[in-house]
Structures are given as structure tokens and as C-alpha cells.
Amino acid sequence: MRPAVYKAWARAFHSNLQEPALPLEEYPSLQAFFIRSLKEGSRPIDPDPNCLVSPVDGKVLRLGQLRGPGTMIEQVKGFSYPVSSLLGATSSLHDATEEDISGEQTEQNVPESSNAKSWWRVSVASPKLRDRTLLSPKRGIFYCVLYLHPGDYHRVHSPVDWSIFKRRHFSGNLFPTNERAVRTIRNLYVENERVVLEGQWKEGFVAIAAVGATNVGSIKLLIEPELRTNNPGSMALHSQSYDERVYEPEGTGMMVKKGQEIAGFKMGSTVVVVFEAPLSKARGDGTVSSDFGFCVKAGDRIRVGEAIGRWSQS
């Protein structure tokens, strides 16, 4: 009976039944099938060291370049949200200034407390800026918003080789994150429950925000399996309150490789990637061109391991 249900689901949401790692009859529930792993080799990872790959299977909703942490990302025409609200008050991106970034914003459309422990700390923070990080004027900040449809593969992989320094969990709402909701719910991504991983890679800052959706805020971290999300009664009193874990050793964090599985959703949702990438020299008109270029555009479908963008070797 269960395989028939999974086949019906796959037909409705266009899932590829040739990819699951297990035979259909071995999945004990629809949820287990939903968060299925894939056969080895199903998602080859682009080996180019000068590219950043997609962490998920999904649809590109938005992408572009930002001037700094206070820059607004346009959710949809008329609705925008600051990247600082998405990532959290203690993000190391926050004290970067417009001069530090030296780039113009471009887009493509469709109260603090801490409790220190030996290996982690938790804080509930209000939105103020700290943890200054100086960003090279030869680097820009870019972002990409990816939506996972219900039929998509729902595990999250690393877009680059990097060190994860911090994890933040925002116990927010569980509004839907489908394209209709994106058009109608203001501040959708900064109001919903989400988990943010932040750290450094060879080109600078990088962060991944995994945003929960209706009834399925449950986000699982392979690198921190004890984390519990979508807990009854855990709604934050303030949309920017969160608990934070600093991965030890501080300043080194947890090393992950490009393509390595790091998390999973229990239902369709959204992933936002914010990252630094190389900029080229200033043009004569005072603007800055970028060596980095996106390989995708808004509306494109992309899979884990396929390049989001590339840059030339300096």
C-alpha cells in the first residue's frame, strides 16, 4: 500500500523514483520517503574550485549583489527585507560598511544574555550590531534564494569548502513559503522559523539560512543532530530573538566540504545563501565590475552540486 502512495505523490509533485537510495517498500512513512536520501552519484558536484554550487534541488527565486548588511533583499516587487534581519544580530557580516563592499546592489527578479559552557553558548539577542569583520574592498556580497517544491529532494548540502563558526535558530512562524506566499506575506523569510549556519570559506564570509514552512518547520542538522526545531510553544517573543551555538574551537569551527550533506527539511521550504566572492577593478565611471558571475537566473531550476556562479582565477 505504501509504495502506491509514494508513487501517487511522485506523480503529483514530479519526483524521480529512480533516484531514492532504498526500494519504495522500505520507507516506513510518507515523511521518511519525503526526506529520502539518493543513490550515490545522483548529484555530481561541480569540481571547479572557483565555483559555488547549489546546496539544494529547487527553483531560483531571486539572486543578486548586495552593498552591505543593511541592504534590502527584494522578496517580491514591493516587499523587501534586510539581510541583517535574515541572518541575525550577531552575524559577522553586520559591521561591514558600504566602503568595505565597494559594490552596487543589483538584483534579478521573478535583550542579550549568554550562558557559556565548555563547548557552546546560547544567547537571546535583540537586533543590534556587533562582531566587526572587515571585508576586502575587492570582494562583493552576493545572495541566492532557492525554493524547494514538495516533490524535490529535501536534503541540504554544502555549497563550498568552508568552516562553520556559528548556528542560529530563530523560533518564528510557519507561514507557507510557496510562490503565492512570497507575493503576499511581507517579511516572510525573517518571520518564519529558520536555522542559519555562518562561517568562512576561501573567499570570505558565507551563510546559509534554511527557512521552515507551514506545518514543517522541522529542520534537521546532520552536524548537530540534537538540535530540535518546530517545538510546540517555542514561538519567539521577538521575531529577531534566537539561540546561538558557537562551534568549537572558536575561530576554527566545523570544517565541511563542498557537496557534503549538512541538513534536511521535512517539507518544502526555502534556502537563502549569502556569500562573498571576488570583485575586479573599478571601472572609469566609478562602479565596480565583478569577476564573479551567476550561472543561473531567476526562474531556473537547479540541482545539488550544479554551479550557482563562477569567477576567474586572479
Residue 128, classified by CB atoms within 10 Å of its CB into exposed (0-12), middle (13-18) or buried (19+), is exposed
Distances (CA, A) of 6 to 9, 11, 310: 5, 9, 37
261 vs 80, higher pLDDT: 261
Boundaries of every domain in the chain? 1-40, 43-310
CB 6 within 8 A of CB 33: yes
pLDDT for the residue numbered 66 = 85
Active site residue 157: yes
Indicate the range of 74-88, 146-160, 252-266 predicted with least confidence. Answer: 74-88
Active site residue 80: no
Amino acid at 44: P
Options 91, 100, 102, 157, the catalytic residue: 157
DSSP-assigned beta bridge partners for residue 275: 142, 206
Active site residue 269: yes
Amino acid at 85: S
CB 87 within 8 A of CB 209: yes
**Category of 305 on φ-ψ map: left (φ > 0), alpha (ψ -120 to 50) or beta:** left
Options 92, 123, 171, 269, the catalytic residue: 269
Indicate the range of 69-78, 158-167, 205-214 predicted with least confidence. Answer: 69-78
pLDDT for the residue numbered 289 = 59
CB 63 within 8 A of CB 107: yes
- The mean pLDDT value for 44-73 works out to 88
C-alpha cell at 207: 551563510
256 vs 173, higher pLDDT: 256
Instruction: Band the pLDDT of 211: cuts 50, 70, 90.
Output: confident
User: How far is residue 31's CA from residue 194's CA, in Å, rounded to a whole number?
Assistant: 20
Residue 132, classified by CB atoms within 10 Å of its CB into exposed (0-12), middle (13-18) or buried (19+), is exposed
pLDDT tens profile 232-258: 555 544 455 788 999 988 778 999 999
- Provide the whole-model pTM: 0.78
